[in-house]
Amino acid sequence: MNGVRKGYVRPLDLRHGAVDMTHGSGGRAMAQLIEELFAKYLGNDFLGQRNDGAVMPMPPGRLVISTDGHVVSPLFFPGGDIGCLSINGTINDVAVLGATPLYLAAGFILEEGLPLADLARIVESMACAARAAGVPVVTGDTKVVQKGAGDGVYITTTGVGVVADGEDFSGDRARPGDQIIVSGSIGEHGMAIMAQREGLGFAAPIVSDTAALHGLIAAMRASGAAIRTLRDPTRGGVATTLNEIARQSGVGMMLQEGALPVQAEVAAACEFLGLDPLYVANEGKLLAIVAPEDAHALLAAMRAHPLGQRAALIGSVHVDAHHFVQMTTGFGGRRIVDWLTGEQLPRIC
Instruction: Please give the Cα distance from 226 to 292 (Å, whole number).
Output: 9
318 binds another protein (CB under 8 A): no
Nearer to another protein, 57 or 199 (CB): 199
147 binds another protein (CB under 8 A): yes
For residue 246, the 8-state DSSP code is H
Nearer to another protein, 134 or 258 (CB): 258
125 binds another protein (CB under 8 A): no
> Among 323, 347, 348, 349, which residue interacts with another protein (rule: CB under 8 A)?
323
Q: Are 64 and 94 in contact (CB under 8 A)?
A: yes
- DSSP, collapsed to helix, strand or coil, labels residue 18 as strand
Instruction: Please give the Cα distance from 303 to 298 (Å, whole number).
Output: 9
Question: How many beta carbons lie within 10 A of that of residue 280, not counting itself?
Answer: 31
267 binds another protein (CB under 8 A): yes
> Among 7, 57, 60, 148, which residue interacts with another protein (rule: CB under 8 A)?
148
> Among 66, 142, 156, 249, which residue interacts with another protein (rule: CB under 8 A)?
66
Question: How many beta carbons lie within 10 A of that of residue 193, not counting itself?
Answer: 26
203 binds another protein (CB under 8 A): no
* Rounded alpha-carbon distances, angstroms, from residue 204 to 247, 268, 272: 38, 12, 16
> Among 9, 58, 63, 149, which residue interacts with another protein (rule: CB under 8 A)?
149
Closest separation in Å from C-beta 334 to another protein: 5
b/e sequence 60-82, b meaning 16+ C-beta within 10 Å:
eeeebebebebbbeebebebbbb
- The 171-190 contact track toward another protein, x by CB under 8 A, reads x-------------------
Q: Are 77 and 125 in contact (CB under 8 A)?
A: no
Nearer to another protein, 125 or 263 (CB): 263
Q: Are 155 and 86 in contact (CB under 8 A)?
A: yes
How many residues at the interface with another protein, by CB under 8 A?
Answer: 34
Q: Which of 68, 298, 341, 293 is nearest to 175 (CA)?
A: 293
Q: Half-sphere exposure of 127 toward its Cβ, with a 13 Å CA cutoff?
A: 15
Closest separation in Å from C-beta 228 to another protein: 16
> Among 7, 52, 201, 331, which residue interacts with another protein (rule: CB under 8 A)?
331
330 binds another protein (CB under 8 A): yes
332 binds another protein (CB under 8 A): yes
235 binds another protein (CB under 8 A): yes
334 binds another protein (CB under 8 A): yes
Can you spell out the DSSP letters for 105-120?
Answer: EEEEEEETT-BHHHHH
347 binds another protein (CB under 8 A): no
Backbone dihedral angles phi then psi of residue 137, each to the nearest 5 degrees: -85, 115
204 binds another protein (CB under 8 A): no
Closest separation in Å from C-beta 26 to another protein: 25
Binding residues for another protein, per CB under 8 A? 66, 68, 93, 147-149, 171, 198, 235, 244, 247-248, 264, 267-268, 271, 273, 322-324, 326, 328-336, 338-339, 341-342
